[in-house]
A and B are shown apart, each in its own frame.
Chain A
Amino acid sequence: MEHPLKQILALVVVLEISVATACGGGGGGETTDSEADGGAPAGAGSVVSPDSAATITGTVSFEGTAPAAEPIDMSEEPTCAEKHPDGAMRQQVAVTDGRLANVYVYVKSGLGDRAFPTPSAPVTLDQNGCRYSPHIVAVQAGQSLAIMNSDGILHNINTQPTENRGFNISQPVVMETSREFSRPEVMIPVKCDVHGWMGAFIGVQSHPYANVSGADGSFSLADLPPGEYEIEAWHELYGTQSQTVTVGVKETAEVSFTFNSDMAGNHVPMGEPIVLR
């Protein structure tokens, strides 16, 4: 019974810290070209006038000592083991200098009924060294997801969505396959049944305002129409946090999120089962 209470307490503490950080005006995060960075869906056609486009940027921090990264035993797959001379680690909690990577940050609400064109450029999900790259993928509904196998050994890409129809396809050689998701969903787990340690998550939105925190914890949601938005940050172990941010014409608003290891017991939302009409 004390478990949920603990969660709420932890959440309150974290929110306070987040607010404090935000008020302190933390440095604006530049998106890095980190492997962990999924990036905003490329080539998104904007419905927002350049004269008014606003931006929300921010940083995801990790408070306290990060849990030690779990090593992966890849001895059964020498092709992959060779790609990690110092040993491969799980990508679940990627903390560098107090910044948390691989957090999916997106506009949860506030866009009204605006419709956004589907980007023509694909988003890439690579399998390299028996790991997914990026680990967290941001894609728009209907946008092409280019799935690559750079390893040239058998991987199967088994997506397990709740709101979309998934797929489970085999890639035993270096090759590329394209798929797409038709409905927004946060998040879709991806697994490889051949290599139990491989895992990734795909976030699907009906709009282009989703980004993944880079190695420096930074994210950026650009080309937004001015307005008030609920911004949610999703982490695969620590669950979600959200904040409401108002951004004016051509303004840049900053928002920060802070996670800590006490949140490990939090509920991690996945796609909700769709309901009968």
Chain B
Amino acid sequence: MLLALGMVAQAEGQEAPAGKATYDKWCAGCHGEEGAGDGVAAAYMLPQPRDFTTALYQIRTTASGELPTDGDILRMIDEGMPGSAMPGWKDYLSNTERTDLVQYLKTFSPFFEDEVPPPLEYGGAPGVSEEGLAEGREFYDKIECWKCHGQAGRGDGPSAPTLEDDWDLPIRAADLTEGWNFNGGYTTEAIFSRLMTGLNGAPMPSFADLIDAEFMTEEQLWRVAQFVEGLSPETPEVREVVRAALVETLPATVDDPAWNQIERFYVPLVGQVIVEPRWFAPTVDGVWVQAAHDGERVALRLIWNDPSESPSAEWEEWRQRVVGVMEPTVEIAVSTAEEEAVGAGEPEVGELLTDALTVQFSTTIPEGMKRPYFLMGDQDEPVYLLNWSSGGSANEALGRGLNAIEPIAGETILTSESTFDDGQWRLLVSRALTAESENRLAFETGRPIPMAIFAWDGSNGESGTQGAISTWYFLYLDQPTENVTYAFPVLAVLLTAVLGVVIVTRAQRGAHGPGPGAGPD
């Protein structure tokens, strides 16, 4: 027995160095050599990498505040934290490397000398029903999820601007309509587990005591999980080509129900980290794009979530905190006077920033795949920009780089309409297909037109080069179709049907009694 224990101890003694090698190679850059979350890359991140010395792990199966199980830690390594910079390692590291890492991470905190409590126990999810979802909504309100997550779940509740994690860093209330960003996954089971365990180190508390206190049943908490799960669509598929449908009449307004008939495309956005000053903590992580044209005009509807309607006094403190965290990592050209103000430790006081969105096109439709530089063009090849800001209406501009934007002189041919509610902007921009000057893009049907999107959240301190960007996509305006084109599919369907009937009839004739393929008459 003693010998066996000794062997186990020896084996464990050998495991740690193995985990260390993997850790030092793949993890230390962000999490730091001593696991304090202070690696060289940490300063460029928000949320910042986890500090393992506190043993506070967000995603667990154990009660609030408790240590994670080995399985919990492994799951985080395997799946990553989708709401942060942490990738999943399942496909990149071997089983042994990952299980060794689990043990090595635990050496960073003496808390792991304590016993890890068992996972919380609970039953399974009840079946989903309309009534169940309604009850979930009822309890979403009763237990005041909306205080942080907002009425529509977009992370825009009244307490959202003030949230801080255990390291006093600003932290977002999760946008519950983007389940693919949930750190622990967004199955009903995963969401229920978060409600039971809370997220250690984050403001998200555990709701398990409400069941013990008989304020609600476990089933009712499952209903909340089902309701929250239902707030998100499926993880959006990213497609390179945004199709502008040909319609008889363009939707008239941004909330025209006619938009519901038009396909939507998801364009993911990331922080602009190429041109200084860079931006590592963008608010907007994706824009839903819908497009339509009627042969005369093209209309784009852009929808994106942003918890703050900037300029917003309510979110000003948030902005200062975010800028305070991110600013040391960027070099901002400031005038001497401003430098003095910053040097004196005074928070930067300025005009409140607005929200903004830009749709970028090439100035002409290129032959082949050649496109201007995606970050608003360059001196040699400018881009055509449709700029919208919450401070005013939309305008057109020419871009020759992120810092060289020049409005197109004269009256704009662009019309726009925007609306904000419950943490969401909806913007309609519309323009004639034909261009009236050489700087403007002339839209043509049937050709892929390079298109990219930029977004800024003023209440997050974003403006200029500090915002969210996409790569190039294409906008494709459907061609007017000849009648004969419509005839082909119809003919094909008819032919298939006739052939099918012939084959089935013959088969039935050849068989005695009903064959395996024959249905009831």
Contacts and interface: CB of A to CB of B under 8 A. Distances in A.
Interface of A: 76, 153-154, 156-160, 162, 165-173, 175-177, 193-196, 273-277
Q: What 5 pairs between A and B have smallest CB-CB spacing?
A: A193-B203, A154-B144, A167-B65, A156-B205, A170-B205
B463 interface: no
A159 B66 CA distance: 12
Interface string B166-199: 1000000000000000000000000000000011
A173 B111 CA distance: 33
9 contacts: A154-B144, A167-B64, A168-B64, A170-B205, A175-B215, A193-B164, A194-B148, A274-B111, A277-B110
Contacts of B199: 168
A138 to B, nearest CB: 21
Contacts of B209: 169-171, 175, 177
A168 B210 contact: no
Interface in B203-218: 203-210, 212-213, 215
B465 to A, nearest CB: 31
B142 A172 contact: yes
B203 A168 contact: yes
Interface of B is mostly: loop
B147 A194 contact: yes
A166 B65 contact: yes
Contacts of B63: 167
A159 B65 CA distance: 9
Contacts of A193: 148, 159, 162-164, 203, 205
Interface string B381-396: 0000000000000000
Interface string B83-120: 00000000000000000000000010011011000000
Interface string B33-59: 000000000000000000001100000
A159 B203 CA distance: 10
Contacts of B207: 169-170
Contacts of A156: 203, 205
B110 to A, nearest CB: 5
B461 to A, nearest CB: 19
Contacts of B203: 156, 158, 168, 193
B58 to A, nearest CB: 11
B166 to A, nearest CB: 6
A158 B148 CA distance: 15
A148 B197 CA distance: 20
Contacts of A162: 54
A165 B65 contact: yes
B353 to A, nearest CB: 22
Among A172, A176, A277, which residue has the most Cβ atoms of chain B within 10 A? A172
A224 B408 CA distance: 83
Contacts of B208: 169
Contacts of B158: 76
Contacts of B430: none
Contacts of B332: none
Given A168-B198, A194-B147, 15 more contacts: A162-B54, A165-B65, A165-B114, A166-B200, A167-B65, A167-B206, A168-B199, A168-B205, A168-B206, A169-B198, A170-B143, A170-B206, A172-B142, A193-B162, A196-B159
A273 B143 contact: no
B67 interface: yes
Nearest to A273: B53
A277 B109 CA distance: 10
Among B147, B164, B198, which residue has the most Cβ atoms of chain A within 10 A? B147
A140 to B, nearest CB: 19
Nearest to A76: B158
A179 to B, nearest CB: 9
B98 to A, nearest CB: 23
Nearest to B158: A76
Nearest to A156: B205
A169 B205 contact: yes
